[in-house]
């Protein structure tokens, strides 16, 4: 056993912590995927996913990473040789470019720049200049913490006669994206963020317009073919066309019940509070957020590290000395920012622990910090909110 | 809790039972996939997989079903518009046809028929008639229990200047397929059969010739692109290009250790014994095997159900009355055969339990059976073998 003085805390927007009840469910004996005991779980998951996606669509499930869910969107929506418009603002948005290229699109890239939002007016201008049938963009850009205004971007895409496909891998279940209400054509997600499960399930919720378009689009696909999975999931009882990741569904079933018990609105409210507390801590420490100050940026808090210290050491010190795993910057932001995730199974004291370790690591790295300053500011936010902020049991 | 008089036994070649130590590992707290604690596990898995694949290749890992591993082979090896030769003998072999079609091949289908082996001479004839650069075939055809002679088929493919890609999803780790020794170009597998893990990891072990060919082949791929995953896995430390299915790797790490401790040759020997005992039970019950009597068919035992009873009820009775889940026939074999799987975490008494339940269900279904006949024949095989036949602890 590792040193118990240094207990482990996972604060990354990669895999996120798993509630004990979810872990327990996944340790149950294996089930045959066509046996009634599993089909019951599977059917309940398909229904519960609709609640989180806020949709009447079939939420298509793939044994895959979140990027596999994205690949399904590219494979089903890209028409080789035709234009596809990617509106990005960070590393994961740029993945859409690579995907569209790989599936043969003439990709047009509207790059808002890392740390900025995609501006609806810019998308409008770009679509006038280079019309496309599908726009690919990002809800929560994990590399920077930025959360885009998907409602507005959807409106712009639709006004230009385009469909919109949104990578909501790190955002779904943390910040609102009411798919049907906003008319978002495709929402892609993964199991390992706010859905409080291990990585290994990729999701794509495609509306009728997107399914119809996909039926006529021609990139290569089989495992990720939406039509095949729609057909299986619509059977009575539902039947996955390929062996589903049984243990992950057993976990998802419990996680979806936890979300339902907490209530989706309360889940969003909890994430708002966690984000607000994190931002208050950053300000109290006289540090700057990376990206715009935004009441909706409640998935990942990205912090500019102070000049004059070796920024890359901060996440390392936090992990190795204090047991708190956060992420640093990716690509050109390596060593320049720290990213603290709070999407999923997180409560108030996760934020306090993290900022306590952050303050200590900053001091270790040679930056002057009055210990407790950030923590105190976050505490004040939680106290002021006066609502229960614990994650579901 | 379900009725403890009817304990549950999983004898399908879908997901297979999980050793308790594997389940425990997967219930550990989540790890960040770039943290040293996970990278250590990941690197050990990549090394351990080489042992089971009996290769020096990088065994490429995907968060996917076994069919996702197959899709990776099609996406990387099919040249749209060019011929691809599929040599099949059942449902999973036919999946290669669908995959090759989906990725744009001019697919040539050598269909040996369900329950037969693919004959090397037939493949030779077919390759002379319709040359192709890649042959796709199956090691263990789960729909029928047939195990093909991959060594001979590889020789034939190579003599004709073709690469060979083998679906070994249900066979790898149960029956020998020494990849490097036989020169098999691509071996595809999944986590949920003889590797004793839950479904959700797909594998593709491609040799240099296959990787080189793939670099020049042109189907659409990104998530399943071999080059991207090779590049990540060859980094020091290795780095999955997409978020890996963390819990499944935690389990695989333990499962691979169990295989190593038992010894791969002993694992094969155990499967030989389980298969031999199952076939002895079938004969003692005066029933026929589906497919040829074959000392190598040690993954799934397929049994022709007696005439005059409703065959489809047998698996159902076994499951509902006795808690033993086996599979019936697929496609046109529905109701005609029963399939008992013994690939993975299986010991002698799993076979005895299964045939005991099979005898009871046959009698329930109206077929005359002397109870204990099949069980006794299997017992005799185990006693005669005089070796420890327990699965690893």
Residue A393 has pLDDT above 80, yes or no: no
- Does A195 fall in a domain? yes
Question: Which pLDDT belongs to residue A387?
Answer: 65
Entry pTM: 0.95
| Mean pLDDT along residues A316-323 | 96
Residues A55 and A188 in one domain: yes
Q: Is the ipTM of this complex over 0.85?
A: yes
Confidence band of B219 (pLDDT split at 50, 70, 90): confident
Is B243 in contact with A10 (Cβ distance < 8 A)?
Answer: no
Residues B30-42: tens digit of each pLDDT: 999 999 999 999 9
Q: How far is A116 from chain B (nearest CA, A)?
A: 24
- Does A218 fall in a domain? yes
Question: Which pLDDT belongs to residue B149?
Answer: 98
- Does B2 fall in a domain? no
Which residues are registered as beta bridge partners of A327? A339
**B220 close contact with A: CB closer than 8 A:** yes
- Does B22 fall in a domain? no
**Percentage of chain B surpassing pLDDT 90?**
94
Of B236, B261, B286, the one marking the end of a domain is: B261
Residue A301 has pLDDT above 60, yes or no: yes
Residues A151 and A81 in one domain: yes
| Mean pLDDT along residues A121-146 | 98
- HEC readout, chain B: CCCCCCCCEECCCCCCCCCHHHHHHHCCCCCCCCCHHHHHHHHHHHHHHHHHHCCCCCEEEEECCHHHHHHHHHHHHCCCCCEEEEEECCHHHHHHHHHHHHCCCEEEEEECCCCCCCCHHHHHHHHHHCCCCEEEEECEECCCCEECCHHHHHHHHHHCCCEEEEECCCCECCECCCHHHHCCCEEEEECCCCCCCCCCEEEEEECHHHHHHHHHCCCCCCCCCHHHHHHHHHCCCCCCCCCCCHHHHHHHHHHHHHHHHHCHHHHHHHHHHHHHHHHHHHHHCCCEECCCCCCCCCCEEEEECCCCCCCCHHHHHHHHHHCEECEECCHHHCCCEEEEECCCCCCHHHHHHHHHHHHHHHHHCCCCCCCCHHHHHHHHHHHHHCCCCCCCC
- Does B123 fall in a domain? yes
Q: Of B245, B324, B391, which to mutate for an interface test with A (greatest number of A Cβ within 10 Å)?
A: B245
Facing residue for B63 by CB, picked from A199, A244, A327: A199
Least confident of A261-275, B217-231, B243-257, B378-392: B378-392
**A344 close contact with B: CB closer than 8 A:** no
Residues A283 and A154 in one domain: no
Nearest CA in chain A to B328: A34
Is B65 in contact with A245 (Cβ distance < 8 A)?
Answer: yes
Is A244 in contact with B65 (Cβ distance < 8 A)?
Answer: yes
- Does B1 fall in a domain? no
End-to-end CA distance of chain A: 25
Question: Which pLDDT belongs to residue A90?
Answer: 97
Residues A253 and A273 in one domain: no
Q: Which domain holds residue B285?
A: 9-16+263-385
Residues A335 and A252 in one domain: no
Residues A157-168: tens digit of each pLDDT: 999 999 999 999
Facing residue for B222 by CB, picked from A102, A190, A242: A102
∠ Cα A311 A312 A313 (to 5°) = 90
Confidence band of B5 (pLDDT split at 50, 70, 90): confident
Residue A389 has pLDDT above 90, yes or no: no
- Does B25 fall in a domain? no
Question: Which pLDDT belongs to residue A156?
Answer: 98
Query: Which H/E stretch holds residue A166?
Result: strand A163-167
End-to-end CA distance of chain B: 25
Q: What CATH number did the domain enclosing B303 receive?
A: 3.90.1150.10
Which residue is it, tokens 């791929």?
B221
Distance CA A147, CA A94 (A): 15
Residues B221 and B284 in one domain: no
Mean pLDDT of all residues belonging to chain B: 96
Mean pLDDT of all residues belonging to chain A: 96
Question: Which pLDDT belongs to residue B386?
Answer: 83
Facing residue for A33 by CB, picked from B15, B31, B74: B15
**A33 close contact with B: CB closer than 8 A:** yes
Q: Does residue A48 sit in helix, strand or coil?
A: helix
Distance CA A289, CA A294 (A): 10
Q: How far is B200 from chain A (nearest CA, A)?
A: 5
* Number of domains within chain A: 2
Residues B176-216: tens digit of each pLDDT: 999 999 999 999 999 999 999 999 999 999 999 999 999 99
Question: Which pLDDT belongs to residue B387?
Answer: 65
**Which residue in B190, B342, B205 sits closest to B279, CA to CA?**
B342
Nearest CA in chain A to B30: A17
Residues B317 and B332 in one domain: yes
**Percentage of chain B surpassing pLDDT 70?**
98
∠ Cα A360 A364 A366 (to 5°) = 120
Nearest CA in chain B to A105: B220
In eight-state DSSP terms, residue A164 is E
Residues B251 and B316 in one domain: no
Residues A44-94: tens digit of each pLDDT: 999 999 999 999 999 999 999 999 999 999 999 999 999 999 999 999 999
Residues A231-277: tens digit of each pLDDT: 999 999 999 999 999 999 999 999 999 999 999 999 999 999 999 99
Residues B276-291: tens digit of each pLDDT: 999 999 999 999 999 8
Q: Of B4, B16, B32, which to mutate for an interface test with A (greatest number of A Cβ within 10 Å)?
A: B32
Is A199 in contact with B103 (Cβ distance < 8 A)?
Answer: no
Residue B172 has pLDDT above 70, yes or no: yes
Is A27 in contact with B23 (Cβ distance < 8 A)?
Answer: yes
Of B209, B242, B261, the one marking the end of a domain is: B261
Question: Which pLDDT belongs to residue B3?
Answer: 81
Tell which A residues from 180 to 219 touch B, by Cβ distance under 8 Å: 190, 192, 198-200, 202, 219
Confidence band of B1 (pLDDT split at 50, 70, 90): low
Phi and psi torsions of B124, nearest 5°: -60, -45
Nearest CA in chain B to A315: B35
Nearest CA in chain B to A225: B102
| Burial class for A16, CB neighbours closer than 10 Å (0-12, 13-18, 19+) | buried
Residues A245 and A97 in one domain: yes
Of B226, B243, B261, the one marking the end of a domain is: B261
Confidence band of B13 (pLDDT split at 50, 70, 90): confident
Burial code (b: 16+ CB inside 10 Å, e: under 16) for A297-324 equals bbbbbbbbbbeebebbbbbebbbeebbb
Residue A390 has pLDDT above 70, yes or no: no
Residue B393 has pLDDT above 70, yes or no: no
| Mean pLDDT along residues A309-322 | 96
Q: How far is A384 from chain B (nearest CA, A)?
A: 32
Q: What CATH number did the domain enclosing A171 receive?
A: 3.40.640.10
Confidence band of B392 (pLDDT split at 50, 70, 90): low
Question: Which pLDDT belongs to residue B63?
Answer: 98
- Does A390 fall in a domain? no
Residues B39 and B171 in one domain: yes
Residues A64 and A201 in one domain: yes
Residues A188-236: tens digit of each pLDDT: 999 999 999 999 999 999 999 999 999 998 789 999 999 999 999 999 9
Residues B63-75: tens digit of each pLDDT: 999 999 999 999 9
Confidence band of A14 (pLDDT split at 50, 70, 90): confident
Residues A331 and A209 in one domain: no
| Mean pLDDT along residues A178-195 | 98
**Percentage of chain A surpassing pLDDT 90?**
94
């Amino acid at each position: 056993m590792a040193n118990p003085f240094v207990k482990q805390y996972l604060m990354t927007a990669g895999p996120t912590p798993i509630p004990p009840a979810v872990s327990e469910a996944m340790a149950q004996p294996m089930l045959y995927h066509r046996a009634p005991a599993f089909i019951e779980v599977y059917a309940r998951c398909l229904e519960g996913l609709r609640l989180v996606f806020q949709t009447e669509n079939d939420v298509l499930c793939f044994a895959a990473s979140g990027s596999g869910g994205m690949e399904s969107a590219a494979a089903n929506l890209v028409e080789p040789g035709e234009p596809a418009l990617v509106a990005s603002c960070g590393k994961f948005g740029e993945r859409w470019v690579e995907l569209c290229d790989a599936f043969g699109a003439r990709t047009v890239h509207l790059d808002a720049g890392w740390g900025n939002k995609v501006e609806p007016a810019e998308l409008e201008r770009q679509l006038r200049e280079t019309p496309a049938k599908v726009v690919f963009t990002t809800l929560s850009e994990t590399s920077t913490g930025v959360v885009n205004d998907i409602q507005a971007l959807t409106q712009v895409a639709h006004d230009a006669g385009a469909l919109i496909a949104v990578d909501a891998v790190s955002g779904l279940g943390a910040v609102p994206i009411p798919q049907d209400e906003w008319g978002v054509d495709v929402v892609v997600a993964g199991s390992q963020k706010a859905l409080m499960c291990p990585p290994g399930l990729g999701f794509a919720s495609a509306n009728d317009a997107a399914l119809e378009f996909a039926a006529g689009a021609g990139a290569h696909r089989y495992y990720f073919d939406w039509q095949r999975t729609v057909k299986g999931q619509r059977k009575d009882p539902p039947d996955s066309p390929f062996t589903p990741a049984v243990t992950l569904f057993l976990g998802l079933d419990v996680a979806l019940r936890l979300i339902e018990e907490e209530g989706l609105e309360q889940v969003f409210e909890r994430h708002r509070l966690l984000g607000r507390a994190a931002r208050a801590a950053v300000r109290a420490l006289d540090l700057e957020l990376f990206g715009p100050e935004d009441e909706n940026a409640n998935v990942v808090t990205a912090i500019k590290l102070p000049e004059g210290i070796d920024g890359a050491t901060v996440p390392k010190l936090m992990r190795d000395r204090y047991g708190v795993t956060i992420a640093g910057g990716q690509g050109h932001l390596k060593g320049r920012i720290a990213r603290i995730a709070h999407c999923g199974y997180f409560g108030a004291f996760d934020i306090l622990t993290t900022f306590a370790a952050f303050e200590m690591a900053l001091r270790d790295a040679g930056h002057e910090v009055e210990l407790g300053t950030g923590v105190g500011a976050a505490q004040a936010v939680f106290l002021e909110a006066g609502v229960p902020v614990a994650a579901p049991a």
